[in-house]
Chain A
Amino acid sequence: MPDRQIFTADLNDAGLFDAGIPQDVFSGMRATRGLVWTPIGAAGDGFWSVGRFADIVAVSRDPETFSSAAGHIQIYSIDDDALQARASMIDMDPPDHSRLRRLVNPGFIPKNIRDYVPIVRDRVSLLLDDIIEQGGADWVTALAKPIPIGIICDMLGVPEEDHDYMIELTDYLVAGTSARPLDPTAYGNTTPLRLLPFNSPAAHGLTEYARALGEKRRADPRDDMVSKLVTAEIDGQRMSDEEYCNFFRLLIFAGNETTRSAMSNLVIQMARFPEQFARLKQQPELIPSAVEEVVRFASPILYFRRTATRDTVLSGTQIKKGEKVVMWYCSGNFDEQQFENPQQFRVDRPKTVHVGYGGGGVHTCLGSGLARLELKVLLEEILKRDMQFTITETPEYVHSNFVNGIEHLHVKLS
Chain B
Amino acid sequence: MQNHNKAALIDFLVTKIVCESENIRSFYLRPVRGECPEYTPGEYLVFELTDSNGKKIKREYSISNGSKQQLRITIKREDPPLQSPDLPAGVMSEYFHQQLQVGDSLIAYGPVGKFKLQSSARPVVLLGGGVGQTPLLAMAHALAEQGTRATTFIHACENGAVHALGAEITALKQSFKLLRSYVCYANPRSCDRLGSDYQSSGFISKEILQSLLVLDDYEFYLCGPGPFMQAMYNHLQQLGVDDGRIFYEFFGPATLLKKAAATVEAVKLPVPTTAADDSQPGTDSASPLITFSRSGFAVPWDPEFENLLEFAEEQDLMPDFSCRAGTCDTCKTKILQGQVSYPDEPMALPEEGYALICCAIPKGSISIDL
List A residues at the B interface (Cβ < 8 Å).
57, 60-61, 94, 98, 101-102, 105-106, 109-111, 115, 117-119, 121-122, 284, 287, 351, 353, 358, 360-364, 366, 368-369, 376-377, 380, 384
Contact = CB atoms under 8 A, between A and B. Distances in A.
B92 to A, nearest CB: 13
Interface stretch (B158-166, B216-224, B317-325, B361-369): B317-325
B322 A363 contact: yes
A369 B109 CA distance: 20
Nearest to A368: B324
B181 interface: no
Contacts of B48: 118, 122
B328 to A, nearest CB: 5
Contacts of B58: 115, 118
A380 B5 contact: yes
Interface in B314-341: 314, 318, 320-325, 327-328, 330
> B7, B58, B325, B344 — which one has the most chain A CB atoms within 10 A of its CB?
B7
A165 to B, nearest CB: 21
Contacts of A118: 46, 48, 56, 58, 109
Nearest to B4: A284
A117 B7 contact: yes
Given A118-B48, A364-B324, 20 more contacts: A61-B327, A94-B330, A102-B320, A105-B320, A105-B321, A109-B310, A109-B313, A111-B313, A117-B7, A284-B8, A287-B5, A360-B323, A360-B325, A360-B327, A361-B322, A361-B328, A362-B328, A362-B330, A364-B327, A377-B7
Contact of A98 (B8, B314, B330): B330
B121 interface: no
B267 interface: no
Interface extent on B, as a size class? 20 to 34
B325 A364 contact: yes
Nearest to A121: B9
A364 B325 CA distance: 9
B262 interface: no
B347 interface: yes
A17 B7 CA distance: 37
A366 B358 CA distance: 14
Contacts of B325: 353, 360, 364
Contact of B318 (A57, A106, A353): A106
Contact of B322 (A101, A117, A122, A369): A101
Nearest to A373: B7
